Structure 1
Amino acid sequence: MSKALVSVIIPTLNADTMIDALLTRLEHQHRVPDEIIVIDSSSNDNTVLKVRQHSEVKLLSIRRKDFNHGGTRDYALRKSQGDFILFLTQDALPKDEYYIDRILAPFDDPKVALVYGRQVPKEDAHAAERLVREYTYGAKSFAITQNVVSRLGIKAFRATDVCAAYRRTAYLAVGGFEDDVLTNEDMFIAAKFLSAHWTIVYEATAEVIHSHNFTFRQQYKRNYIQGIEIEKHRDILGGSHLMSEGLSMVTYTMRRLLKQGKVRELGRFIIDCGFRYAGNRKGRFDAQHEMKRNS
């Protein structure tokens, strides 16, 4: 591992309020990456200027209309040199200087293809958002293999490129991300890894600060796109559905909000879940009709 090359890839769009802090944190890691690549989707703010202030960072630029979550990351990965490739989003800040050491540690097992880290909410995160992160990204690390997929269902594929690391040879062996996938590229490649008998690890000690306070409209749109892609990839996911896992998360969050006496936040969360559900159902419905037309 000490001789292995490590690349970090960060897709950006109008990230000028975040990118300098992120690049600085990466440059001061205990295990400094051998290569940092920013792939920018034609930002119209000062993102490119701030990236260029970090002389060792490689900058790639694409047209905004050409961005998608799978193909863009795949393009950048194939331009990289690393034996291990770490993806971060522009708004995910490693919590400390040992993030890279910790997310790389599970690769000592040659069967591990993908490691993803823990998301700790920002200080301004709504109470419900904090609980959702707490439910989704717990304090205990674990490994996932093909043997547990039938028991875990959709949870087995819960990986996230907000903060993830890939073994290059494994990534290439399963064909990488799809070129035209709109979202959940991390979930779909996780399914491919498990099908090919690789191991996925959730490493809870590798922490980034990351959360969102989405509006209802943003939540609907996000879940609509997810619904489309998950419906299109039902075969890869083995027919697993989000519904049971979603209900478990909702129940956990509602109970905790009630226990904390946050009634107003509970009401907002219930409405938020309605928009999530409606978006997901509409996305799945539209995907089904599109697939029937094309069959």
Structure 2
Amino acid sequence: MEQAKVSVIIPTLNAGTMIGPLLTRLEQQHRVPDEIIVVDSSSDDDTVAEVRRHPNVHLTVIDRKDFNHGGTRDRALRASTGDYVLFLTQDALPKDDGYIERILQPFEDGRVALVYGRQLPREDANAAERLIRGYTYGPNSSVITQRDVHRLGINAFRASDVCAAYRRTAYLEVGGFENPVLTNEDMFIAARFLHADWKIVYEASAEVIHSHNFTFRQQYKRNYIQGVEIEKHRDILGNAPLTGEGLAMTTYTIGHLLKQGRLIAAGRFIIDCGFRYVGNRKGKFDAKREARRHA
């Protein structure tokens, strides 16, 4: 592991206020990455200037219309040199200088293909978002294998390129990310890893600070796109049901908000869940209709 090379890849778009602190934190890690690659989608703020203040960072600028979550990451990984390739989003800041050490540790097991870390809420995260992060990314690490798929359903494929690390050989073996794909490239490759008898690890000690306070409109759009892509990839996911997990998270969040006396926050979250549900259902419906049209 000590001799292995480590690459970090960060896609960016108008990340001017975030990319500087993120690159500095990466350069200060106990395990300094051998290369850091930023793929910028033609930002119109000072992102490129901020990246160029870090001379050891490799910068690639692409046309904004050419970006997609799977294809852009796949091209960057194949152009990188690391035995282990770490992905971060521009708004995910490692909590401390031991992040890379910790997310690499599970790879001591030669059958681990993918490790993803814990996401902690930002200081400005609303009450519901704090609860969701705690529910989704808990304090206990776990190892997922093919045997767990029947028991866990869709949760077996939970992974996030907000903060994830890949074994290059395993990634290439299963063919890499979908291309093109609008979202959930991490979930789909996680499913292929498990089907190919690789392991996935949730490493709770590898922590980043990352959360969103989405508007209702943003939630609808986000879940619409997820609905489209998940419907398209039903074969990869094995038709695992999604609604049970969503209902469990919703019940947990509303229950805790009510216990905290946050009635307005609970009401807003219920509306938020409505936008999530409608967006997801509409996305699935449109994907099915499109598939029938081309059948």
TM range (shorter): over 0.9
Matched with 1:248 is 248
- C-alpha distance in structure 1 between counterparts of 2:179 and 2:219, whole Å: 24
Matched with 1:289 is 289
Q: Deviations over 1:141-195 (max 9, x none)?
A: 0000000100100000000000000000000000000110100000000000000
The structural deviation recorded for 1:242 is 1.4
Ranges of 4+ aligned residues in structure 1 off by more than 2 Å: none
Q: Deviations over 1:179-216 (max 9, x none)?
A: 10100000000000000000000000000000000000
Matched with 1:261 is 261
- Structure 2 letter corresponding to 1:102: R
Q: Does 1:23 align with 2:11?
A: no
TM-score (norm 1): 1.00
Matched with 2:55 is 55
- Counterparts of 1:118-133 in structure 2, within 5 Å, are 118-133=118-133
> Aligned residue pairs: how many?
295
Matched with 2:109 is 109
- C-alpha distance in structure 2 between counterparts of 1:242 and 1:124, whole Å: 29
The structural deviation recorded for 1:78 is 0.8
- Structure 1 letter corresponding to 2:206: A
Matched with 2:169 is 169
Matched with 1:199 is 199
Note the aligned Cα RMSD (angstroms). Answer: 0.4
The structural deviation recorded for 1:241 is 2.2
- Structure 2 letter corresponding to 1:262: R
Matched with 2:188 is 188
Q: Deviations over 1:257-277 (max 9, x none)?
A: 011110010000000000000
The structural deviation recorded for 1:61 is 1.1
Q: Deviations over 1:230-282 (max 9, x none)?
A: 00001100001211100000000011101111001000000000000000000
* Structure 1 alignment gaps of length 5 or more: none
Matched with 1:45 is 45
Q: Deviations over 1:7-36 (max 9, x none)?
A: 000000000000000000000000000000
SS of match in other structure, 2:234:
coil
TM-score (norm 2): 1.00
Matched with 1:35 is 35
- Structure 2 letter corresponding to 1:55: P
* Structure 2 alignment gaps of length 5 or more: none
- Counterparts of 1:59-78 in structure 2, within 5 Å, are 59-78=59-78
Matched with 2:237 is 237
Q: Does 1:148 align with 2:145?
A: no
- C-alpha distance in structure 2 between counterparts of 1:294 and 1:86, whole Å: 37
- Structure 2 letter corresponding to 1:33: P
SS of match in other structure, 1:45:
coil
SS of match in other structure, 1:235:
helix
- C-alpha distance in structure 1 between counterparts of 2:255 and 2:106, whole Å: 34
Identity of aligned residues (%): 74
SS of match in other structure, 2:272:
helix
- C-alpha distance in structure 2 between counterparts of 1:234 and 1:223, whole Å: 16
- C-alpha distance in structure 2 between counterparts of 1:120 and 1:92, whole Å: 9
The structural deviation recorded for 1:104 is 0.1
